[in-house]
Amino acid sequence: MIEITLSLAVLLAVGFLAAKVAQLLRLPSVTGYICAGVLLGPSGLGIITEEALSQQLGHFTQIALMLIAFGIGEHLDLRQLRQTAKSVGYVGLGETSGAFWLVGIGAFLVARATSVGHAEWGLLDFATLALLLGAVSVATAPAATLHVMRELRAAGPLTSTLMAVVAVDDGLAIIIFGIAMSVARHLSGGATDSITAAAGASLGEIAWSLVIGAVAGLIIDLVVHQLNRRGEMLTVGLALLLLAGEGARLMQASPLLAGMAAGFTIVNRDRRDVRVFRAINDFEPPIYALFFTLAGAHLDLSALAVAGLLGLTYAVLRVAGKMAGANLGARVAGAPAAVRRWLGLALAPQAGVAIGLIFLIQGDERVGIYSSIITPVVLAGVVLSELVGPVLARIAVQKAGEVGEEVKGERQPKGARKEVAGGPVDIESIELVPWTWEQLEPPENPTGSVIFGVAHPATAPALARIATILAHHHRARLLAVRVLPPASGQEAQEREAIPGELLAAAETEVRSMGYDLAMEVVTTPSVPAGLVSAAREHRATAIVLGHPLAGTSRAFDRVVEQVAREAACPVIVVRSAGALHTERILVPVANVQELELVRTVVRALAAVGPHRITLLRTVRPEATQDEIEAVEAELIEWARTEELPDSVRGEAVKAEARLETICEATAGYDLLVMPAMPRRGLQRLFFGSLAEDLIRSCDRPVLIVRGERA
């Protein structure tokens, strides 16, 4: 215990001092950590022994790798990646192919010319050696790259593309290595499985890893979202994350890919609560210092001498292949100039995954004979890339002009969770602010109709008001629909009074706005079928439904999904809570597609009365002021294109927790208009529903716009 404690103290202290020296020399901190490790390890002073590295301190490496992978997952926000998906795909294929082929061909020529290996080796042996070296060269070191990006607070096209490429790089490395191993066994005459089987096994490993990570991400998001304190989020999040990593290892899957998948799942949930990332970030500095210092201690400088010319060839051609392939892929994808010029340079670091791959080669009976050459060659490449790679990554970000401003002091998180009233609605609290604006003028020749379903006297007036505003916009007539199951005898007579009772309050509201109301009772066992039938018969341009007063109901959700799917018009769900007024309206959206979904409702509301409408976009906490202004300009331009009045404005706010940020923003508004993109099954389970989360957490009336396009 004393030896472990002393080792930790020495590693942290020397690593910290070396990092400070590196910063003074304008080098990345990670370079200082690695140099400190080399000095302390067996290749240096030998203060940290081989036994301590392999047995006593190894678990810190596993913890750090999970945190690193989890952090990379945060950068895989699909909303951001859609803008760079083409670049990521082409660059990823380009840089992996470039490294594989350049290293493979170069290694074959150098190995053949210098006659490395056994005297009886032939062309097939040199080809097998080159094939395996090419496969190992594909892997990158996400840890060093991520650390440099965070240290520089980098943001921009290069950074976002780089983090996405690094994330997919190890998945591609596993696939390529699995296929290469199978081919190598065939070339060595000892194949027991086909190349197809090897590729399938590699894909299976990746699939298992992603499933484990996705499940872990869903559980972390569910649990952490219920917590208020950052310390609690750190404890629970770290525990679940490490359990996922250990589970992946026990199932022969990749903990690195599982960690990435967990982070990816959380950041792409509809409510996008990233506070758990911030909590874990507070825990990372000492773990990172230990990880990189230990990485340096593992480096064997004698490998440089043993590897000789082949090791130098491997290191140089790997970086050259990454740069050339990334440049070619970026050009094909039409990526920005900064991505084309500098992204390949930032892919130079190589460490953990590559070392793991050479261990697999050593443990294989048929190709293990090549490990005596591959091991020192790859380790030499790792030594050079870990010492020089972070410097190259830093240069790439600086040349691209994506170094962020240093933040002084502790950042106060925006969107901190606070208790809000939500869930089941108190019927007694539902009211409707009287219509005091000018009466609306019905069309002489209405086109189609706007239908609203009536089921409860308390909510009927609110549905009638929203439906009337929509009918005025569409120049349509207004129709209230009541769907009832078939009945006979006394039950049928008792139900005859129900439509009139429901209609009374709704009709009063509609007339106060200047419109007339028609009523129709549809008798059918299926509520969705009845609504769809009425919509088709009366050529509905919109359907307005009331949300269940008792909170979210899966049965109601299925009704809305079926109506939205089968009716040829948008479906607007009105959630009544407190007083409904439509003067100050908040419209939270995540992208242009969601703006298009709520377009009709926003235009209808803007056309009546002195409404003040705010289009709200939440952006990532690291967004720069220029990015915020660009988002706000995009919102304003959309409003101008739609010919909306000047009272419609755009606003962008930084948010760690999207749901909480929107709930806080509702304080100054009467009504929310929320888009709800169509999601079903596993897609709904994975992404969740921000609209439904908002209904459970917010005490304001909400209009949920459902459908493919409004």
Please, what's the b/e burial string for 104-126 (b: 16 or more CB within 10 A of its CB; e: otherwise)?
Answer: bebbbebbbeeebbeeebeeebb
Are 657 and 279 in contact by the 8 Å Cβ rule? The answer is no
CA–CA distance, 94 with 85 (Å, rounded to integer): 14
DSSP class per residue in 129-171: HHHHHHHHHT---HHHHHHHHHHHT--SHHHHHHHHHHHHHHH
Sign of CA dihedral 204, 207, 212, 215: negative
CA–CA distance, 562 with 221 (Å, rounded to integer): 29
Domains of the chain by range and CATH? 60-400 (1.20.1530.20), 449-486+496-576 (3.40.50.620), 578-703 (3.40.50.620)
CA–CA distance, 17 with 29 (Å, rounded to integer): 10
Which residues, at least 6 apart from 283, have a Cβ–Cβ distance to it below 8 Å? 67, 234, 238
Are 286 and 276 in contact by the 8 Å Cβ rule? The answer is no
DSSP-assigned beta bridge partners for residue 574: 546, 703
CA–CA distance, 534 with 528 (Å, rounded to integer): 10
Burial of 583 (0-12, 13-18, 19+ CB in 10 A): middle
CA–CA distance, 620 with 72 (Å, rounded to integer): 15
Are 362 and 372 in contact by the 8 Å Cβ rule? The answer is no
CA–CA distance, 624 with 708 (Å, rounded to integer): 32
Whole-number CA gyration radius for the chain: 31
Q: What is the pLDDT of residue 408?
A: 35
Task: Name residue 216's amino acid.
Answer: A
Are 384 and 371 in contact by the 8 Å Cβ rule? The answer is no
Burial of 650 (0-12, 13-18, 19+ CB in 10 A): buried
Q: Which two tokens stand for residue 570?
A: 């948008």
- What length does the chain have? 710
| Per-residue pLDDT reduced to its tens digit, 504-550 | 888 888 888 889 888 888 888 888 888 899 999 999 999 999 888 66
To the nearest 10°, report the CA torsion of 384, 125, 173, 182. -160
Are 578 and 430 in contact by the 8 Å Cβ rule? The answer is yes
**Placement of tokens 């140089």 in the chain:** 316
DSSP class per residue in 273-342: B-HHHHHHHHHHHHHHHHHHHHHHHH--THHHHHHHHHHHHHHHHHHHHHHHHHHHHHHHHT--HHHHHH
Q: What is the pLDDT of residue 412?
A: 39
CA–CA distance, 88 with 84 (Å, rounded to integer): 6
Sign of CA dihedral 460, 465, 466, 470: positive
Pick the closest to residue 313 from 34, 35, 99 (CA basis).
99
Q: Which residues of the chain have pLDDT under 50?
A: 1, 191, 405-423, 497, 709-710
Q: What is the pLDDT of residue 170?
A: 66
CA–CA distance, 396 with 402 (Å, rounded to integer): 9
Sign of CA dihedral 191, 197, 202, 208: negative
Are 678 and 570 in contact by the 8 Å Cβ rule? The answer is no
CA–CA distance, 613 with 588 (Å, rounded to integer): 11
pTM of the model: 0.64
CA–CA distance, 569 with 703 (Å, rounded to integer): 16
CA–CA distance, 418 with 260 (Å, rounded to integer): 29
